[in-house]
């Protein structure tokens, strides 16, 4: 009797080094051997080419993608939509790059190797729901705020060097009244005949720009508040949580907060968890300077509001101070507590959303 040996199936792990126009992918089998490299355009057709290429190599176990919040966002969404496991991979550290060099195929292979080693297990943000809507609206709002501040600063700078009669007319106006007064200036008809007329025209342009940006910011904030009121009522109901803080915390968690396996993971994501810094006989923890700094700032704002108006928070602060902690240390403890509270609310919201779409 003759036994025919069956070929072992090949299990493929794909790493992707992402760029704006082209992605480079490298594949390894279950034994860690390199089995291929390919280059694809950053289009739906290119994403399908990558998938066909990987399927031709064997059974796909996972994709490790760099920059899932930037250049790799489209590919990550596509692969997740096709039902594949996608893992967010950080770029190789500097020591590795100094030792092994830098090239796109090397980085792609490093991403695949990292996934196989289990060094990276993070699930990228889905980017397909309300949180993604909030993110893009906040980007537009933040850039409009920055532009409005620049217009205000330019107005003040022009006022410093303006001709005396114009400077005396506008001197002493607040930063809210000055743009309106500048927008109403009339340099006169025809060609500009003096520095005063030119300065008035420049200041009127900046004042009108300020007014347009203010209207734009107001419209964006209205849409952001509508989304939060509709989808994050329970988060807004927490003491001290306003629209800006709520949207920052939602952005940190993403449209799929279930990707965070515990409240400790969410606290670390927000930079609100202590980092161990022990060595030898010294056992201590230090401040976490990583994580999402906007989410960390949101936690801080919530704590400050509660310290002013929330009696249980005041009592907690007094107890911690009595135990010998400094005010900063007590605030860090409170931020950790708020992160735990927010994580519970986000999980409840996620369960409600899943039930509604089931």
What are 192-211's pLDDT values in tens digits? 778 889 999 999 999 999 99
Write down the pLDDT at residue 60. Answer: 93
Stretch 262-268: mean pLDDT? 90
pLDDT-derived band at 93, boundaries 50, 70, 90: low
State residue 52's pLDDT score: 94
Q: Are 286 and 274 in contact (CB under 8 A)?
A: yes
Residue 99 burial by CB count (10 A; 0-12/13-18/19+): exposed, middle or buried?
Answer: exposed
Q: What is the mean pLDDT of residues 221-240?
A: 94
Phi/psi at 96 (5° precision): -65, -40
DSSP tag of 259: G
Q: How many helices (H) and strands (E) does the chain have?
A: 14, 7
Q: What is the tens place of the pLDDT at every residue in 13-52?
A: 999 999 999 999 999 999 889 999 999 999 999 999 999 9
pLDDT bin (cut points 50, 70, 90) of residue 7 is: low
Ranges 80-84, 101-105, 171-175: which has the least confidence: 101-105
Half-sphere exposure of 255 (CA within 13 A, CB side): 14
Residue 2 CB-density burial (10 A; 0-12 exposed, 13-18 middle, 19+ buried)? exposed
Domain 11-117 carries which CATH code?
Answer: 3.30.420.40
Per DSSP bridges, beta strands 59-66 and 86-89 are parallel
- Measured in degrees and rounded to the nearest 5, phi and psi for residue 87 equal -120, 135
Q: What is the largest CA-CA distance in the chain?
A: 110
Residue among 145, 162, 236 nearest 200 (CA): 162
pLDDT of residue 1: 40
* pLDDT above 90 (res 279): no
Q: Which two tokens stand for residue 84?
A: 């594949």
61 phi and psi angles, rounded to 5 deg: -95, -40
Q: How many C-beta atoms surround the C-beta of residue 311 within 10 A?
A: 8
Structure tokens belonging to residue 255: 């449209």
For residue 87, count CB atoms less than 10 angstroms from its CB and return exposed for 0-12, middle for 13-18, buried for 19 or more.
buried
Q: Is the pLDDT of residue 351 over 80?
A: no
Structural contact between residues 225 and 335, judged by C-beta atoms closer than 8 angstroms:
no
Structural contact between residues 122 and 259, judged by C-beta atoms closer than 8 angstroms = yes
Q: Does the pLDDT of residue 253 top 70, yes or no?
A: yes
Contact present, 332 and 287 (Cβ < 8 Å): yes
> Can you give the pLDDT at residue 277?
74
Task: Tell me the average pLDDT across 160-178.
Answer: 90
| pLDDT for residue 3 | 43
Tokens of 161: 């060097």
Mean predicted confidence (pLDDT) in 237-241: 94
Which residue is associated with the tokens 């990583």?
A: 290
- How many CB atoms neighbour CB 299 within 10 A? 30
Tell me what pLDDT residue 276 has: 78
Q: What are 292-305's pLDDT values in tens digits?
A: 899 999 999 999 99
Whole-angstrom distance, CA of residue 268 vs CA of residue 91: 19
Checking if the pLDDT of 2 tops 50, the result is no
Q: What pLDDT digit, counting tens, does each position of 97-138 carry?
A: 667 667 888 888 888 888 888 877 778 888 778 899 999 999
- Supply the pLDDT for residue 97: 65
- What are the sequence ranges of the domains in the chain? 11-117, 130-231, 234-278+288-357
pLDDT of residue 104: 85
- Backbone torsions φ then ψ of 11, nearest 5 degrees: -100, 120
Is 63 in a helix, a strand, or coil? strand
> What pLDDT is attached to residue 5?
44
- Alpha carbons within 13 angstroms on the beta-carbon side of residue 118 total 0
- What span, in angstroms and rounded, lies between the C-alpha atoms of 132 and 9? 39
Mean pLDDT score across all residues of the chain = 88
In angstroms, the CA 283 to CA 301 distance is 30
Percent of the chain with pLDDT over 70: 93
Q: Which helix (H) or strand (E) holds 327?
A: helix 327-357
């Amino acid at each position: 009797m003759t036994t025919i040996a069956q070929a072992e199936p090949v299990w493929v792990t794909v790493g992707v080094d992402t760029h704006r126009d082209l992605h480079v992918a490298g594949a390894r089998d279950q034994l860690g051997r390199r089995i291929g490299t390919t280059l694809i355009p950053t289009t739906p057709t290119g994403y399908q080419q990558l998938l066909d290429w990987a399927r031709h190599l064997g059974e796909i176990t996972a994709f490790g993608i760099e920059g899932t919040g930037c250049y790799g966002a489209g590919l990550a969404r596509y692969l997740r939509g096709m039902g594949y496991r996608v893992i967010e991979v950080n770029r190789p550290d500097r020591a590795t790059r100094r030792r092994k060099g830098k090239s796109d195929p090397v980085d792609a292979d490093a991403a695949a190797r990292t996934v196989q080693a289990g060094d990276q297990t993070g699930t990228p943000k889905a980017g397909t729901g309300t949180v993604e809507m909030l993110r893009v609206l906040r980007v537009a709002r933040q850039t409009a705020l920055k532009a409005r501040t620049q217009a205000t600063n330019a107005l003040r700078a022009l006022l410093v060097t303006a001709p005396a009669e114009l400077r005396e007319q506008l001197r002493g106006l607040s930063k809210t009244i000055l743009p309106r007064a500048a927008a109403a200036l009339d340099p006169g008809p025809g060609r500009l005949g003096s520095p005063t007329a030119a300065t008035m025209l420049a200041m009127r342009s900046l004042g009108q720009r300020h007014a347009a940006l203010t209207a734009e910011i107001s419209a964006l904030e209205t849409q952001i508040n509508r989304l939060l009121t509709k989808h994050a009522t329970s988060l807004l109901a927490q003491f001290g949580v306003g629209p800006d803080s709520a949207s920052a915390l939602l952005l940190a968690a993403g449209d799929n907060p279930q990707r965070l396996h515990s409240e400790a993971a969410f606290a670390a994501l927000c930079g609100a968890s202590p980092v161990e810094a022990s060595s030898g006989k010294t056992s201590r923890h230090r401040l976490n300077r990583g994580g999402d700094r906007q989410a960390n700032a949101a936690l801080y704002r919530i704590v400050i509001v509660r310290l002013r108006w929330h009696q249980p928070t005041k009592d907690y602060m007094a107890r911690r101070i009595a135990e010998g902690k400094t005010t900063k240390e007590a605030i860090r403890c409170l931020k950790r507590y708020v992160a735990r509270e927010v994580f519970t609310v986000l999980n409840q919201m996620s369960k409600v959303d899943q039930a509604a779409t089931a």
